[in-house]
Structure 1
Amino acid sequence: MADCKSISKPTTAKPDTTPEASIAFSDPYFYRHLVGSLQYFTIMRPDLSFAVNRICQHMHDPQNQHFTMLK
C-alpha cells in the first residue's frame, strides 16, 4: 500500500458489482480484526465513523468487495 493515493471521501457510493467481488473473503477473522481496530480509531477521528459503520455491517459475512472498501 506504499503507492496509495488519497481520496476526498473515505468510502464510495457504489459498491463493486463484478462477480469476483461477491466471493466470500478468505479470512473473515482478519477482516474482523481490522474492522475492530478501525472502530477503536474512530474515538480519535469521529469523521471516519460513517465509513467504519458501513464496513461493520458486513462483519458476519465479508466478501472481497467489503475487504476492498476496508482497505
Structure 2
Amino acid sequence: MGNAKGMPKPMLSNSKLSKFDYVQLSDPTYFRSIMGALQYVTLIRPEMSFSINKVCQFLAQPLEDHWKAVKRIMRYLSGTLHHGLLIQPAPVHQPLSLIGFFDADWAADPDDRMSTSGACVYLGPNLMSWWSKKQPLVARSTSEVEYKSLA
C-alpha cells in the first residue's frame, strides 16, 4: 500500500460496519496485527480515534467489509503523513483556559444499537486529551446519550 492513492477521510460518514456480513477473512491474524499497530496511531493523530475504534470492535471475527475499512484508513494515513499535533505557546495576554468538546451519536451501531461518544479537551490553544468509545449501555434518548458522553 506504499504507493496507494490517499483518501480525504479515514472513514465515510455513512459507513455502517456490521458483524453480520458473512464474508469471512481468510487470515484474521493479519487483520488483528494491523489493527494493533494502528492503535498506536491514535496517540498522535486524534482524528483517527473514531475510525480505528470502530474497526477494532470486530477483532474477534473480522469480515471482508472490515478489511476494506482498514485499507481505507491506511490509504488516508499514506496521504496525510505530514499531519500531526501542533503545540503552541499560550498567548501571554490571555488567561489559560480549559475547554472541552463532547459529542455522541444515538444508537448508531446497527448490531446492538449502542452509542459512540467522543471528546477533546484543550488547554489554551493546544489539544491535550481526546477519546472515542462505545458506550456500555443502550440510551433511550439523544439527551441521555449526550449526558453519558459528558459524564
Shift of 1:60: 0.7
RMSD: 1.9
Whichever of the two has the greater Rg, that structure is 2
Secondary structure class of the residue paired with 1:62: coil
Who is 1:67 aligned against?
Answer: 67
CA distance in 1, matches of 2:25, 2:60: 11
Q: Give the number of the structure with larger relative contact order, counting CA–CA contacts within 8 Å between residues 6 or more apart.
A: 1
CA distance in 2, matches of 1:8, 1:59: 25
Query: Could you list the runs of 5+ residues in structure 1 that have no partner in the other structure?
Result: none
Who is 1:26 aligned against?
Answer: 26
Cα shift readout 1:20-59 (whole Å, capped 9, x = no counterpart) = x631111111111000000011111111001101110110
Who is 2:43 aligned against?
Answer: 43
TM-score by length of 2: 0.40
CA distance in 2, matches of 1:14, 1:41: 21
Change (3 A) 1:22 1:15: farther
By percentage of residues, which structure has more helix? 1
By percentage of residues, which structure has more strand? 2
Query: Could you list the runs of 5+ residues in structure 2 that have no partner in the other structure?
Result: 72-151
CA distance in 2, matches of 1:24, 1:36: 19
Letter in 2 for 1:45: R
Percent of residue pairs bearing the same amino acid type: 34
Shift of 1:6: 2.3
